[in-house]
Amino acid sequence: MCLNCVTKFETQLKLEGKWEDHVKNTHNKEIDQLIKEYTAFINEKMMEGNQGFVTEAGDVEKWVGGVNKDRAQEALDEGIKYLESLKK
């Protein structure tokens, strides 16, 4: 939408008394999207292997250990709980 279209749309929402609901819904949708992206990121990191890593210099480093999946899941749950608490 162009600036004029957005202005008209928002003005119409305010005149109809729907502005607060629009702001609330937009805010909550942004948080839902953030939760979705955060969950995908954590799940991707939990699936990564630890066979090695190539540095910017081209050196191959072998890493020992791995992701503590229980701790990562706990952090994910806590993060989602926090993000949910930000909803209006």
Rounded to 5 degrees, φ, ψ at 85 are: -70, -15
**What sign results for the dihedral spanned by CA atoms 31, 37, 40, 45?**
negative
> What are the start-end ranges of the E strands in the chain?
53-54, 60-61
**Confidence bin at 57 (pLDDT 50/70/90):** confident
Answer for the pair 53, 63: CB distance below 8 angstroms, yes or no.
yes
Helix, strand or coil, per DSSP, at residue 87? coil
pLDDT in tens, 6-51: 999 999 999 999 999 999 999 999 999 999 999 999 998 888 766 6
Quickly count: other Cβ atoms within 10 Å of residue 70's Cβ: 8
